[in-house]
Structure 1
Amino acid sequence: MSRFHHRPPFAFSLALSAVLTLCAAGPGALAQGVTPQQQATANKVADAGVPLSELAANAPDSYTVKRGDTLWDISKLFLKSPWRWPELWGMNKAAVRNPHLIYPGQVLVLERTADGKAVLRMGKQVGGPGGASGEAGLTKLSPSVRAEPLTLGAIASVPMQLIGPFLTDAVVFDSNELESAPRVVATQAGRMLVSKGEVAYVRGDVDAARNWQMFRSPKPLRDPQTGQVLGFEARHVGVAEIVRRGEGAAGSGLGADGKDLVVPHSIRVTSLREEADVGVRLAPLPARDTEAFAPHSPNGPVDGRIVSIYGDGRVAGQNQIVAINRGAQDGMERGHVLALWAKGGIKRDSITGDRATLAIPDERHGTLFVFRVFERVSYALILQAEQPVQAGDRFSQP
């Protein structure tokens, strides 16, 4: 994932962006993290433009991308539905082949055509409105080359500080495999807890992996609709490295139980999210997930439920993480945007004389952003919620 780096405004031409990206990707190549359907949508929009009716009510005539912006923020400025990013990207597609390569300092200029369409152009703001160019502070750019990687400083899809740690730390296992995983069995000087930098002792099958995640005992995730166990969520505690491998039976004496003494593996805790104690389980630390992704709507209808709030909370709100009962086997993808619904229920009309029973419809009140997908479960960030979110709440396609 791209991280934010300081980059001052610069002359970045659309034509040059296309040339550099195509040279890197090859003719006809899909942008990283872009599905064929999103590519097709962008192709269509790039050819025809976007109807003015699809623009946000207060879409600006121009916008300068700032450090800290996200693709979601910018899509929301120009379009009614932020997850419809292919339309926004499509308006730039002739020049910006990869929607993830949008940088601070670039200026997006909205043009409304005579045939009721809208397109985005790229310009550079100079001297403020009415500046030297005489065209609302915009001037045409000439191709130029910057000797730095194209991806440096590109804006992210959503606020990465909210989901970055969960791209590796939040794990759902298909089975309760941690039950037989290596675990911490002792600490130095008999301490109850292990701190960062301290050594602890582990028993179990430790293979060639050097770095390990530490987890609490996993809990089953049950589908609110079927009651079926969808997987086992293991709460991340921290990371440790193997500093010395044990020798099994030491052969140098007997313990109080009359059996051979056993020398455990030694680990050193390198990072902690919460307290680590005797009994925490270990699993190999995977490589950091750096695959690009961007908001987009599912291909078809979706109907599912919130399974749980990450961190054992009972309710959640904006910027919190939830597990949902749809995964890869259901067609769920990273970047999918989903609508949250508040349950209506049955109520009695206490005003009208017939006192009719009312079926109150569900009401949409929020938005989810899927960022990690397992076989039968996914994790999603609550981007917006007007009411508290809890296990059992319904979600659908937006």
Structure 2
Amino acid sequence: MGSAPSVWAQTSSFPITEQQRATADRVAQAGVPLSELAPNAPDSHTVKPGDTLWDISKLFLTNPWRWPELWGMNRDQISNPHLIYPGQMLVLVKIDGRAQLQLAQQRVGAQASDADGSGKLSPRIRVGDFDGNAITAIPLNLIEPFLNDAVVFDTDELATAPRIVATPEGRVLLSRGDLAYARGDLSQATDYRVFRNTRPLLDPISQEILGYEAPYLGTAELKRPQQNSEQADGKIEIVPATLMIKAVRQEIGIGDRLSPMPQRSFSRYIPHAPNAPIKGQVISIYGEGLNAGQNQIVALNRGRRDGLERGHVLALWQQGRSMVDSTSDKREIIKLPDERHGVLFVFQVYERVSYALIISVKDPVKAGDSFSQP
């Protein structure tokens, strides 16, 4: 299983020469070999609402993560992706043993025409900045909830983070609009995420702690800072800070921790294969499940320091089981080969841990399953 060309990489931990970059650009702009096309690839496709680049690429390619090649995207265009809109027609162009997918631009209320007015379809490429009406690379609705929910801290910093210490009238659980009282340093921000105490993420092989996963509970807004005052007898009266609960994803209560709300990242996710071979294991299924299926989230034991980045596509492997060879007089133990049975899409990367969406899978995924470059 070889890795795909390095044309997709915007940043990399591995040195790339100018000659390699030039070669990658030429390959990308040339399209893909006809052998990479899906057996029933259509000659054209009209984009529908709800389509994604991944969905469309599956119509045309055996390996949908190679769509930047199919679109003839060079490195500059990757950072400024093609914008494709519902209603546009995509045309598969085959020249000299290679294929490219292009847009057939049409005038509204008129017959499709090319630049010289001949009335023929003219394949063109439309490139522009981010546009909310354009179709996305993958279904963002599947990962957006986890951009806040799935959080890993490199150190157990939440152990000393500000904490909720009391609730009005002794309430056990807090809802949206309720007040909460907290102690700790709340001078860093006005808006905070609320987390339960962290749990360590352990490497399935070495059992080394790779990070600390924190269950996300909701958000809160600081209304009044903590106020300490010295009393007449010299004692310090501690008045906790007041916060209002703005959103609740899970139950919030006394002892839960607060962390400043980070800036949201709206970067487009460009599916691409890693530049170099990589192997690792699934640490856990997000949400405490024992098994996971399509469109669920898993934590991986590789991160930024290992060369993973947002948008990486990975192959899932199921470990071959051990069994007794009943055909042998010696009754020997044999191990069946590992089998590839799914595809992962990395959408959140930390220093030593990443989160990935299961794009497709044949059998349930469990902790300890392995992954590699596709």
What TM-score, normalized to structure 2? 0.85
1:209 to 2:185 alignment: no
Q: What's 1:172 paired with?
A: 152
Q: State how many pairs are aligned.
A: 355
**Which of residues 302, 305, 316 is equivalent to 1:340?**
316
Instruction: Give secondary structure in 1 for the equivalent of 2:223.
Output: strand
Shift of 1:311: 1.2
Distance verdict in 2 for CA 1:71–1:85, change over 3 Å: same
By how many angstroms is 1:354 displaced? 5.7
Does residue 163 of structure 2 align to residue 183 of structure 1? yes
Deviates more, 1:172-181 or 1:48-57: 48-57
Counterpart residue identity of residue 106, structure 1: Q
The superposition leaves residues 87-135 of structure 1 with CA deviations (integer Å, 9 ceiling, x where unpaired) of 122179999983352222221101223x3222223215799xxx96699
Trace 1:275-290 onto structure 2 (pairs within 5 A): 275-290=251-266
Label 1:46 to 1:32 Cα distance change in 2 as closer, same or farther (>3 A): closer
Choose which of 101, 117, 142 in structure 1 pairs with 2:98: 117
Shift of the alpha carbon at 1:158? 1.2
Report the secondary structure of 1:277's partner residue.
Answer: coil
2:307 paired residue number: 331
Question: Shift in Å at residue 305 of structure 1?
Answer: 0.4
Unaligned 5+ segments in structure 1 are 1-30
User: How far apart are 1:348 and its partner, in Å?
Assistant: 1.2
1:237 — aligned with what?
217
Deviations 1:291-348 (A, max 9, x none): 2221100011111000111111111111111110000100011000111111103211
Determine the C-alpha separation between the residues in 2 that align with 1:41 and 1:119.
18
How far is the alpha carbon of 1:83 from its aligned partner?
A: 1.1
TM-score (norm 1): 0.80
Q: Say if 1:41 and 1:90 are closer, same or farther in 2 by CA, change over 3 A.
A: farther
Q: Root-mean-square deviation (CA), in Å?
A: 3.2
Q: 5+ residue gaps in structure 2?
A: 1-6
Q: Is the 8 A contact 1:213 1:282 kept in 2?
A: yes
Does residue 318 (structure 1) correspond to residue 294 (structure 2)? The answer is yes
- Tell whether the 8 Å contact from 2:8 to 2:78 is kept in structure 1 after alignment: no
Deviates more, 1:308-317 or 1:97-106: 97-106
Q: Is the 8 A contact 2:25 2:74 kept in 1?
A: no
Q: Deviations over 1:247-298 (max 9, x none)?
A: 02463789xxxx6431100000111111111111000000111122211000
What is the match of residue 152 of structure 1? 132
Q: Contact 1:163–1:381 (CA<8 Å) still a contact in 2?
A: yes
CA–CA distance in 2 between the matches of 1:150 and 1:218? 36
Please give the secondary structure, in 2, of the residue aligned with 1:194. coil
Deviation at residue 216 of structure 1 after TM alignment: 0.4
Map residues 61-100 of structure 1 onto 2, 5 A cutoff: 61-90=43-72, 98-100=80-82
Aligned to 1:104: 86
* Residue among 192, 204, 207 paired with 1:224: 204
1:33-90 CA deviation, whole Å, 9 max, x = no partner?
Answer: 9458898677324543321111111111101122211121122111110111221221
Percent of pairs with identical residues: 53
